[in-house]
Structure 1
Amino acid sequence: MPGLLLRTLSGENMAERPVWLMRQAGRYLPEYRALRASKGGFLNLVYDSEAAAEITLQPIRRFGFDGAILFSDILIVPYAMGQDLEFLVGEGPHMSPRLLDAALTSLTAVPGRLSPIYETVRLVKAALPGDKTMLGFAGSPWTIATYMVAGEGSRDQHDTRALAYRDPAGFQAIIDAIVGVTVEYLIGQIQAGAEAVQLFDSWAGSLAPSEFERWVIAPNAAIVRQLKAKIPNVPIIGFPKGAGEKLGAYARETGVDAIGVDETIDPVWAARELPPGMPVQGNLDPLLLLAGGEELDRQALRVLEAFADRPHVFNLGHGIGQTTPIEHVEQLLALVRSWKR
């Protein structure tokens, strides 16, 4: 029988709420820090399938989360498309050649860079308890394009937004290429054992409404449409971080099965404005988890009660912070698991 998370993502409003946390496998865990210290850089971990599988499973063993999210990175897709990728300490990811300076056609695809990720999924799925759900993921085209164009993350995605205005046809070609690789990447994850997938659009909030329609809604809809044509029954979670009032249009128009909500959205508003019956995931502020105490319980309960009348996956509004105390995670889980609809 499918686990609590998979049943919720499939549209069942369960009495108990499944819970997993974005970045649940990471630097707040001492076992992660120990393994990373033994392996070296971040990409070394991602491309060591046994190590990546172990990292994926660490928070399941410690906390019993309902979902195991693949340990990888959204920038594996442009890496497979032919850009070089490195993670610099204190600076984050750098990609080259950046598409401000080079043509998309100058890149030589290296599809073999995806194969170790599929092996990680296979290893995790083989070790995962039957009541837990294996979650795959990919970055959404707009967010991936911002890194491919600028070569790094930026505060307001200035270079990428300017390129999209200046050369919309050229930028559309970049988006279309990302869509194609992303569909194949997600199919590969699902064939390896992923039971649901999430599309992360981390920089969706930087776009004006008309541009949001073109560069967020349309490409994500294309991914959903193409993926469901090949594999129709795997739930897809869309997470357009920062979408604000555009969240409703995203939920209605992309075809995703469930919608991730960030912490800037009032859960009462989201429960009212999102399509009736659509599964929602979120949306506790990660800083509340960092702070702990009575306010953590109060705000977590507010989220649970706001989404009581629809399928709800309890999660954060974005990734867990690296200095979050483990006892605060345990506090949150005790509350969520004691709550009943």
Structure 2
Amino acid sequence: MAKAETSRFIDVLNGEVASPPPVWLMRQAGRYLPEYRELRAKAGSFLDLCYNPELAAEVTLQPIRRFGFDAAILFSDILVIPQALGQKLWFVQGEGPRLEPVADAARLSEIDALADDDVLSPILETVARVRAALPSGTGFIGFCGAPWTVATYMVAGRGTPDQGPAKALFAADPALFQQIIDRIVEASIRYLSAQAAGGVDAVQIFDSWAGSLDAPDFQRWSVEPTRRIVEGVRAAHPNLKIIGFPRGAGRLIPDYVRQTRVDAVGLETDIDRAFAASEIQSLVPVQGHFDPQLLRSGGPELEREAEAILEAFAGRPFIFNLGHGILPDTPIAHVERLLKTVRG
């Protein structure tokens, strides 16, 4: 399948320095956009929207049309993998995802060893639709959840403040927890490889709860599974760019980069900027780390902080982004102001 011309986004992932840097925002397709809210109402539910290729492709493209971001990111959810493995998934309005917990060997035995391709096929159709419709020069990002983060939801059946249920399980029965991780790893390799075959230029591995692990557990449950995914995907798609996002890992990120061999890494808002520039950006291109709260509040501080970030990461490969996802009540005018500041 023919791909768009190389984008500035991909150029930076290849190690080039761009000024101004390319910019996209995590969760750039979402509830802050009136056009998204209209399609979300039309779809009937969040999952129905994810699994409707026509609507999901339209949602992916909406922020590209409105803002001209340098990259589009596939509209989907990290929990499609457990659903494809046979775990029941649903969303509760205002509360988020729910799954039937997998907390013991008996429940794991009820989950499939391999992901059902038929469950994921609508998402891959979305990939093809977006690829065909993207403007030339706009990068296209696919994604999956990192095994540790996905496992926390699979075990607890929902998001938890401290990932306690997953920690309790790997402490009590590390072999069983390893089996859960292994299934997510294998499913993720196949899923990301299928996205690459469908036309994405890069993929991002979201480890949203990496910061909840201490150093030894981070090595076992975050770094090593991610390394296996990178290795497995590269075996089939050696030119695909892979971005890691171990949110909250802080000073553990340099070792994460070296061991996983990701092509770039996302930076959360709270990371020390001088450390990130000297110890991480010296290894790979970095992406981040503007505060979503500040984007929501706006004001003169928005411009000051954006300019400080641009200055801190100038001279090396850098992609401007947020430290996490854009908040639903963020004014569109603030996004426009941020883009104007970044692009000069």
TM-score by length of 2: 0.96
> Which piece of structure 1 moves more, 60-69 or 276-285?
276-285
Q: Distance in 1 between matches of 2:14 and 2:31?
A: 31
Could you tell me whether the CA contact under 8 Å between 1:203 and 1:241 is conserved in 2?
yes
Partner of 2:320: 314
Do the aligned partners of residues 175 and 84 (structure 1) sit closer, same or farther apart at CA in structure 2, a change above 3 Å counting? same
Partner of 1:14: 18
SS in structure 2 opposite 1:130?
Answer: coil
Q: How does 1:139-178 map to 2 (within 5 A)?
A: 139-178=145-184
Partner of 2:29: 25
Q: Distance in 2 between matches of 1:76 and 1:100?
A: 21
Q: Distance in 2 between matches of 1:76 and 1:314?
A: 28
C-alpha RMSD over aligned residues: 1.1
Q: How does 1:71-220 map to 2 (within 5 A)?
A: 71-100=75-104, 102-108=106-112, 109-220=115-226
Could you tell me whether the CA contact under 8 Å between 2:86 and 2:111 is conserved in 1?
yes
Q: Distance in 2 between matches of 1:267 and 1:300?
A: 13
Q: Distance in 1 between matches of 2:107 and 2:43?
A: 34
Q: 2:307 aligns with which of 301, 311, 321?
A: 301
SS in structure 1 opposite 2:24?
Answer: coil
Could you tell me whether the CA contact under 8 Å between 1:49 and 1:120 is conserved in 2?
yes
* % identical aligned pairs: 55
Do the aligned partners of residues 150 and 102 (structure 1) sit closer, same or farther apart at CA in structure 2, a change above 3 Å counting? farther
Do the aligned partners of residues 97 and 160 (structure 1) sit closer, same or farther apart at CA in structure 2, a change above 3 Å counting? closer
The Cα shift of 1:37 comes to 1.1
Q: 2:274 is matched by which residue type in structure 1? A: V
Could you tell me whether the CA contact under 8 Å between 2:245 and 2:265 is conserved in 1?
yes
SS in structure 1 opposite 2:78?
Answer: coil
SS in structure 1 opposite 2:142?
Answer: strand
Partner of 2:44: 40
Q: 2:39 is matched by which residue type in structure 1? A: L
2:60 is the counterpart of 1:56: yes
The Cα shift of 1:53 comes to 0.2
The structure 1 segments of at least 4 consecutive aligned residues displaced by more than 6 Å after TM superposition are: none
> Which piece of structure 1 moves more, 285-294 or 8-17?
8-17
Q: Distance in 1 between matches of 2:53 and 2:103?
A: 30
Q: Distance in 1 between matches of 2:239 and 2:109?
A: 34
SS in structure 2 opposite 1:332?
Answer: helix
The Cα shift of 1:158 comes to 0.5
Q: Distance in 2 between matches of 1:103 and 1:304?
A: 49
The Cα shift of 1:309 comes to 2.3
TM-score by length of 1: 0.97
Q: Distance in 2 between matches of 1:242 and 1:100?
A: 28
Deviations 1:192-246 (A, max 9, x none): 1111000000010111110000000000001001111111111100000111211
- Ranges in structure 2 where 5+ consecutive residues have no aligned partner: none
Partner of 1:237: 243
Q: Distance in 1 between matches of 2:11 and 2:68?
A: 17
- Ranges in structure 1 where 5+ consecutive residues have no aligned partner: none
The Cα shift of 1:111 comes to 2.5
> Which piece of structure 1 moves more, 28-37 or 265-274?
265-274
Aligned residue pairs, count: 338
The Cα shift of 1:275 comes to 5.4
The Cα shift of 1:91 comes to 1.7
Q: 1:251 aligns with which of 251, 257, 271?
A: 257
SS in structure 1 opposite 2:89?
Answer: strand
Deviations 1:234-279 (A, max 9, x none): 1100000111211121112111000000001122220011152510
Could you tell me whether the CA contact under 8 Å between 2:105 and 2:176 is conserved in 1?
no
Could you tell me whether the CA contact under 8 Å between 1:157 and 1:206 is conserved in 2?
yes
